[in-house]
């Protein structure tokens, strides 16, 4: 049975989403000890799942049995979908999703094999990098449910020749990809997610579950997700709860966000950079209007001032409507608790943020969170907090390439592909090498080698180092004779072992598995099992395992000179998230991790253009105009999502926004969000811990 009016709700930004959601569900369904336990909540991510779990614990106290929580934002949905639909095992099982690394290798091979007539061939690391972009195009076609024929029917007469050549190559690859994929017995992960969501939707349409079902915090506007949310909203005990839908935006402003359906003949361009656009698109695909969305009747202890919601709506008014800022009147109630600081550089910005977080925990029970998309700023803040012995978890993670195991692998790969004495000394002195009792003696030899290699005239390669050591050791009057004599046996053993281990890199084009095996042997010779320890080591081991399982996929041989770049691309895209264990009241969140979560003090850091929002990354395969013709999201939509994250964080009770005048040594430009905030709210008051301006404290903290 379905109801005529869809049950769609929204929690405004001044309310803490997870806590208000938990409070509202407890009020509605906590009828006895098992009332909540019979329900199901669909959530967008594992981080949102953790936030909702914590909110139920805060709201319900001891003895509360929570609803089932299922994540539908991930591509691999087997476990979550099984929770959502008990009868799924009775249906014919879907093919498994292809492993991401295996798919990338197969796509790289496809790029190398198929070159349109008259176009240059693409091989090696360039093909591997383009395969990543090609995989994103394929996924986006699946998410938007666009067929391959859409690529063929495009009229590109108005586009530059290089885009037409790019699309010709893309058509060729997409035409061949289904056959390559079918040979593996797998399907694309995005396609599998669509099928699984549709299977759940069909099951619920035929037999709605007796328990209550709530889809909460989901903003993805993919058609398959929108259809499922529409089904949930139409069930007798179903509800959809959206985060931060603007309830006060005037109708003409809402309409000014533009069309949400792709129409090549429509001259209007949607405002995809607006924080409400993706919610409008989602409602449109659900077949619902904003007028049907109801307010969620629940409050929490983390709510900000109610005046903050209309203030943020005014802050992000489309350009044609920003004249109403002049008639905004008194905004003191909306800006209460809002302050800002402009630092000389990003180093001082990190220092100032660390000071604010350190001060926050002086108050018992008080929590503080840094929210930033800038991972370098997050690392600096975490490092600055260690001066007080405070460890804080960066839940957005760290690129595997920047962890000790990842950095060691890249050093070894670079040295194997192109011998460099500086890289050699860095490799041998790496903290993971020879950990334990023998490390002190090992470092003594590394220092001797470093001193011996500093003089000019070194012949390139391993043989050049061997020749210099032998020549100096044989001549008692030579400079560095004592160093060379002490180094001789140690270096002979080391160079002989690594010469054999890394020999495949000197053999010309070689199978990738052979090169990877050589690197694995070299790592273990240097570190034993230490390189595989800890979260980063385990992730690195998983990468080696995934490549081993993908044996036979991808180019049969690669140039060893390209292999370090291929590894660097993989390691840069893998994020290592540390296990919990940092300070219980201090947090560092990325934008994805900050969604639906809130702390007493929210510090929004890195508000410079190019950091927040991040600079738009061009698509190597499709021009923006071609994407529009295909009905794919414009690259600028990511900036709209970043704006929605910023708007949601502004709903907290106490907020500090920060930026730096110089970032990475270069002059920085204030973020468009900062400029809007300054234009509407005026100059923000600077925080002053202990009565001293924060920027002054940060500048003078390390001054002698």
Domain boundaries, the chain: 8-92+193-301, 100-186, 311-397+579-700, 401-571
Does 77 score more than 60 pLDDT? Answer: no
Place 267 in a pLDDT band, splitting at 50, 70 and 90. Answer: very low
Which of 77-86, 441-450, 655-664 comes out lowest in average pLDDT? Answer: 77-86
* CATH code of the domain occupying 311-397+579-700: 3.40.50.300
Does 209 score more than 70 pLDDT? Answer: yes
In what side-by-side order are the strands of the sheet with 238-243? 68-71, 40-43, 213-216, 238-243, 8-11, 293-295
Query: How do residues 539-577 score in pLDDT, each as one tens digit?
Result: 999 999 988 888 777 777 888 998 999 999 999 988 888
In the predicted model, what is the mean pLDDT of residues 144-170?
74
What is d(CA 582, CA 595) in angstroms, rounded to the nearest whole number?
A: 20
Q: 3-state DSSP call for residue 16?
A: coil
DSSP string, 287-303: T--GGGEEEP----TT-
The reply to whether 8-92+193-301 and 311-397+579-700 are identical in fold is yes
Instruction: Give the model's pLDDT for residue 1.
Output: 41
Query: How do residues 663-685 score in pLDDT, each as one tens digit?
Result: 888 899 999 999 999 999 888 89
Does 410 score more than 70 pLDDT? Answer: yes
| Residue spans of alpha helices (H) in 207-326 | 223-234, 251-256, 277-286, 308-315
The Cα-based distances of 292 to 5, 63, 379 in angstroms read 8, 36, 44
| Average pLDDT along the chain | 87
Cβ-Cβ contacts under 8 Å for 52 (sequence gap 6 or more): 18, 21, 22, 41, 43, 69, 216, 596
Among the listed residues 685, 678, 657, 653, the one whose alpha carbon sits nearest the alpha carbon of residue 306 = 653
Q: To 10 degrees, the CA torsion angle through 493, 494, 496, 500? A: 140
Structural contact between residues 71 and 92, judged by C-beta atoms closer than 8 angstroms: no
What sign has the CA pseudo-torsion 409, 415, 420, 421? Answer: positive
- Give me the percent of the chain exceeding a pLDDT of 70: 93
Architecture of domain 8-92+193-301: 3-Layer(aba) Sandwich (3.40)
Does 84 score more than 80 pLDDT? Answer: no
What is d(CA 417, CA 427) in angstroms, rounded to the nearest whole number?
A: 14
In the predicted model, what is the mean pLDDT of residues 68-90?
61
Place 166 in a pLDDT band, splitting at 50, 70 and 90. Answer: confident
What is d(CA 106, CA 134) in angstroms, rounded to the nearest whole number?
A: 11
In the predicted model, what is the mean pLDDT of residues 242-247?
93
CB crowding 331-367: b at 16 or more within 10 Å, else e: beebbeebbbbbbebbbbbbbbbbbbbbbbbeeeeeb
Q: At what angle do helices 223-234 and 277-286 cross, to 10 degrees?
A: 60
Q: What is the DSSP letter of 221?
A: -
């Amino acid at each position: 049975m379905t109801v005529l009016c869809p049950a769609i709700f929204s929690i405004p930004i001044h309310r803490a989403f997870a806590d208000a959601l938990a409070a509202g569900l407890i009020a509605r369904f906590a009828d006895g000890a098992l009332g909540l336990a019979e329900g199901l909540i669909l959530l967008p991510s594992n981080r949102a799942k953790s936030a909702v779990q914590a909110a139920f614990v805060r709201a319900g106290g001891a003895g509360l049995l929570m609803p089932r929580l299922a994540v539908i934002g991930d591509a691999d949905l087997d476990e979550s979908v099984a929770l959502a639909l008990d009868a799924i095992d009775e249906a014919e099982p879907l093919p498994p999703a292809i492993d991401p690394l295996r798919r990338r290798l197969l796509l790289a091979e496809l790029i190398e094999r198929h070159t349109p007539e008259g176009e240059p061939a693409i091989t090696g690391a360039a093909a591997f990098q383009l395969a990543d972009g090609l995989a994103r195009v394929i996924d986006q076609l699946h998410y938007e449910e666009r067929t391959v024929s859409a690529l063929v029917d495009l009229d590109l007469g108005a586009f530059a020749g290089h885009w037409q050549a790019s699309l010709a190559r893309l058509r060729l690859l997409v035409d061949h990809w289904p056959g390559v994929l079918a040979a593996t017995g797998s399907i694309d992960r995005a396609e599998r997610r669509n099928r699984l969501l549709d299977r759940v939707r069909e099951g619920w349409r035929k037999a709605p579950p007796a328990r209550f079902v709530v889809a909460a915090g989901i903003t993805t506007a993919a058609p398959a997700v929108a259809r499922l949310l529409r089904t949930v909203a139409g069930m007798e005990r179903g509800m959809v709860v959206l985060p931060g839908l603007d309830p006060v935006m005037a109708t003409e402003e809402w309409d000014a966000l533009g069309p949400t359906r792709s129409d090549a003949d429509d001259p209007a361009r949607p405002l995809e950079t607006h924080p409400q656009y993706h919610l409008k698109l989602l409602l449109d695909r659900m077949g619902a209007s904003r007028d049907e969305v109801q307010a969620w009747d629940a409050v929490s202890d983390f709510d900000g001032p109610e005046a903050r919601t209309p203030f943020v709506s005014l802050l992000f008014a489309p350009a044609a409507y920003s004249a109403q800022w002049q008639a905004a009147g008194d905004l003191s109630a909306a800006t209460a608790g809002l302050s800002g600081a402009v630092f000389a550089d990003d180093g001082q910005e990190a220092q100032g943020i660390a000071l604010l977080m350190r001060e926050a925990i002086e108050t018992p029970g008080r929590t503080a969170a840094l929210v930033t998309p800038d991972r370098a700023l997050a690392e600096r803040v975490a490092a600055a907090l260690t001066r007080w012995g405070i460890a804080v978890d960066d839940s957005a993670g760290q690129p595997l390439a920047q962890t000790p195991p990842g950095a060691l692998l890249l050093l070894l790969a670079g040295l194997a592909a192109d011998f460099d004495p500086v890289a050699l000394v860095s490799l041998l002195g790496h903290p993971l090498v020879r950990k334990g009792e023998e490390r002190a003696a090992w470092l003594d030899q590394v220092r001797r080698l470093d001193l011996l290699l500093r003089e000019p005239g070194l012949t390139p390669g391993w043989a050049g180092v061997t020749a210099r050591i032998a020549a100096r050791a044989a001549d008692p009057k030579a400079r560095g004779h004592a160093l060379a004599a002490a180094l001789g046996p140690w270096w002979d053993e080391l160079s002989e072992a690594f010469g054999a281990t890394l020999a495949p890199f000197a053999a010309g084009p070689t199978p990738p598995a052979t090169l990877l095996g050589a690197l694995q042997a070299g790592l273990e010779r240097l570190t034993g099992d230490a390189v595989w320890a800890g979260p980063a080591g385990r992730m690195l081991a998983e990468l080696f395992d995934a490549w081993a399982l993908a044996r036979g996929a991808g180019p049969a041989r690669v140039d060893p000179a390209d292999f370090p770049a291929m590894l660097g691309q993989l390691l840069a895209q893998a994020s290592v998230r540390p296990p919990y264990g940092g300070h219980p009241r201090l947090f560092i969140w990325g934008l994805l991790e900050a969604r639906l979560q809130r702390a007493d003090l929210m510090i929004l850091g890195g508000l410079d253009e190019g950091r927040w929002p991040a600079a738009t990354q061009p698509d190597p395969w499709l021009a923006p105009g071609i994407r529009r013709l295909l009905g794919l999201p414009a690259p600028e939509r990511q900036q709209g999502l970043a704006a929605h994250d910023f708007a949601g964080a502004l709903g907290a009770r106490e907020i500090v926004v920060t930026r730096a005048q110089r970032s990475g040594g270069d002059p920085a430009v204030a973020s468009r969000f900062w400029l809007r905030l300054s234009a509407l709210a005026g100059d923000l008051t600077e925080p002053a811990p202990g009565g001293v301006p924060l920027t002054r404290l940060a500048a003078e903290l390390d001054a002698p």
